[in-house]
Amino acid sequence: MANSLRSEVVKLYKNLLYLGREYPKGADYFRRRLKAAFLKNKDETDPEKIKQLIARGEFVVKELEALYFLRKYRAMKQRYYSDDKP
């Protein structure tokens, strides 16, 4: 694997590990799944396949960010707006 792709993979792993701290099922659950996913593809040598896997990882990052923003939005909405309408 080229050094540039290796650094991208490591950066993606660290980013996902950071985002997994607030995962709804728990950080330990997320960490185990993340490690398993990366170990499953550790022997990949084809640069194009690695780029596809990195793209999938970036998609997961965006999905996690959307999940967290939605959770924060719901909490704020629940805190400041009541469900009963006047």
Residue-wise pLDDT for 54-75, tens only, equals 999 999 999 999 988 988 888 8
CA-only gyration radius of the chain, Å = 17
Domain chopping of the chain, boundaries: 3-82
**pLDDT reported for residue 24:** 85
How far apart, in whole angstroms, are the C-alpha atoms of residue 17 and residue 43? 21
How far apart, in whole angstroms, are the C-alpha atoms of residue 54 and residue 80? 39
State pLDDT tens for residues 30-48. Answer: 999 999 999 999 988 889 9
Which pTM does this prediction carry? 0.77
For residue 24, the 8-state DSSP code is: T
Q: Helix or strand or coil: residue 31?
A: helix
